[in-house]
């Protein structure tokens, strides 16, 4: 009895310490209600879907764009699925977008446009598994729920030094998470544990000295907190290969098609190509082209990693005469309309490699980037512009975009720093990289993430940085 009471007291003490820390250090996130405000269930749900397998920095511009275009669940439910997929393009894991739309419609049809508050009812909605249902119930409605995302899993695994690898380890971590979760302020506690994992109990270098859970943390006491959670041994990721056919007409129109609604990249636009397989026969690739043309294989290949396999695509470029109709299931898209297509990252890589142009959705940074080879293959695709370039040096990071230059210095803040663009941020910490001493050309998706990280650091200091 005494041991049980002691355990309960210790769990309550842990929760109290985490909540006290959160009240002082909570992150300001666009979907998070400020202290004293009532959370918006639509914003909570939208953010949780977007944050699955995706970083906060990458999600912020997409969240803002979705909320501006579809400010409530009824507006999202009325939107055509094709428009939702286009808006989602670039965020990855595209089944989330399809489920997002289906869920919005279900909320309108079954719950009169109001998200249910109970976890079991939330789980009945499309795309809401155990974690998301628990997170929405706790954060949006303050219902007691056991919320375990990747950050919380890491924190709990270290507190209890869980030695078991998945799947047994995950089940044990969840059980421990349920034991220490408080019955009050469930939403705040869940977000506090997320913030703790994201900012202090980080994967590689946990800052144990300032962690509110450091006393009594078994991982810390054992001297190797970063060893937890124990991971399953990784198998070799299978390799698949295939080919795509970048076909154009005079004037630059590009041949596209839409993938089947179900399955990998379902409902997204793509450059026509072959099936992806381990035994792909390169010698017979052009026999599978969507229409007859004189094809040439371009140098190199596009590589992309999916969750369960790695992919390598050869690119064959060809041009057909004006007026050639598109084959069944395909369509011609004018170059100026490509940005409106729901092109996943893989296909934007293909287009970039084939034409030297990057097609970016309206995320606040738009333009066409330079190809990595410096060539402009393909005709009629418009005048090529220089792409974003990041100059990484020992002391600073300079971002060049068109005629604008943003310089962010590393090191100690100079006493006379008046220009926000010269304010110091620790880029190694927020981006978790060691800058090479050379120029690096990046795509717009990467640039967007970097700029969001920089802007976040300035916001913490009450400063702003403009980058247009």
**Active-site annotation, residues:** 48
Q: What is the 3-state secondary structure (H, E, C) of the chain?
A: CHHHHHHHHHHHHHHHHHHHHHHHHCCCCCCCCCCCCCCCHHHHHHHHHHHCCCCHHHHHHHHHHHHHHCCCHHHHHHCCHHHHHHHHCCCCCCHHHHHHHHHHHHHHHHHCCCCCCCHHHHCCCCCCCHHHHHHHHHHHHCCCCCCCCHHHHHHHHHHCCCCCCCCHHHHHHHHHHHHHCCCCCHHHHHHHHHHHHHHCCCCCCCCHHHCCCCCCCHHHHCCCHHHCCCCCCCCCCCEEEEEEEEEECCCCCEEEEECCCCCCCCCCEECCECCCECCCCHHHHHHHCCCCCCCEECCCCEEEECCCCEEEEEEEEEECCCCCCCCCCEEEECHHHHHHCCCCHHHHHHHHHHHCCCCCCCCCCCCCCCCCCCCCCCCCCCCCCCCCEEEECCCEEEEEECCEEEEEECCCCCCCCCCHHHCCCCHHHHHCCCCCCEEEECCHHHHHHHHHHHHHHHHHCCCCCCCC
Give dist(CA 63, CA 57) in Å, integer. 10
236 contacts: CB under 8 Å, gap ≥ 6? none
Give dist(CA 56, CA 59) in Å, integer. 5
Helix spans in 339-433 (H): 345-355, 427-431
Q: Evaluate whether 375 touches 356 at the Cβ level (below 8 Å).
A: yes
């Amino acid at each position: 009895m005494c041991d049980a009471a002691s355990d309960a007291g210790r769990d309550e003490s842990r929760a109290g310490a985490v909540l006290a820390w959160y009240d002082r250090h909570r992150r300001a996130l666009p979907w998070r209600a400020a202290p004293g405000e009532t959370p918006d269930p639509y914003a909570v749900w939208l953010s949780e879907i977007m944050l699955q397998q995706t970083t906060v920095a990458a999600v912020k511009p997409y969240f803002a764009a979705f909320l501006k275009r579809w400010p409530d669940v009824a507006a999202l439910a009325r939107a055509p699925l094709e428009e939702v997929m286009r808006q989602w393009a670039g965020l990855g894991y595209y089944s989330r977008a399809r489920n997002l739309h289906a869920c919005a419609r279900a909320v309108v049809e079954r719950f009169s446009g109001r998200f249910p508050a109970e976890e079991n009812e939330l789980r009945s909605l499309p795309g809401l598994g155990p974690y998301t249902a628990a997170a929405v119930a706790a954060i949006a409605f303050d219902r007691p729920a056991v919320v375990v995302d990747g950050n919380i899993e890491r924190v709990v695994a270290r507190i209890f030094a869980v030695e078991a690898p998945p799947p047994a380890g995950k089940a044990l971590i969840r059980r421990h998470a349920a034991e220490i979760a408080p019955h009050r302020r469930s939403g705040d506690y869940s977000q506090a544990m997320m913030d703790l994992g994201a900012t202090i109990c980080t994967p590689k270098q946990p800052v144990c000295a300032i962690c509110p859970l450091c006393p009594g943390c078994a991982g810390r006491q054992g001297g190797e907190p970063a060893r937890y959670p124990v991971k399953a041994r990784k198998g070799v990721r299978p390799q698949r290969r295939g080919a795509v056919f970048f076909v154009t007409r005079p004037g630059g129109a590009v041949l596209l098609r839409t993938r089947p609604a179900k399955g990998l990249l379902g409902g997204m636009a793509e450059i026509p190509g072959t099936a992806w397989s381990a035994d792909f026969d390169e010698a017979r690739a052009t026999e599978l082209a969507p229409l007859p043309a004189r094809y040439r294989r371009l140098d190199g290949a596009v590589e992309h990693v999916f969750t369960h396999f790695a992919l390598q695509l050869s690119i064959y470029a060809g041009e057909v005469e004006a007026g050639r109709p598109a084959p069944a299931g395909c369509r011609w898209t004018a170059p100026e309309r490509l940005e409106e297509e729901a092109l996943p990252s893989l296909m934007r890589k293909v287009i970039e490699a084939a034409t030297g142009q990057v097609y970016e959705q309206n995320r606040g940074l738009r333009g066409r980037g330079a190809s990595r080879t410096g060539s402009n293959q393909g005709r009629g695709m418009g005048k090529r512009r220089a792409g974003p370039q990041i100059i990484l040096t020992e002391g600073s990071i300079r971002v060049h975009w068109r005629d604008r230059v943003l310089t962010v210095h590393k090191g100690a803040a100079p006493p006379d720093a008046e220009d926000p663009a010269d304010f110091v941020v620790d880029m190694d910490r927020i981006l978790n990289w060691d800058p090479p001493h050379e120029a690096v050309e990046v795509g717009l998706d990467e640039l967007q993430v970097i700029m969001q990280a920089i802007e976040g650091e300035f916001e913490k200091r009450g400063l702003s940085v403009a980058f247009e």
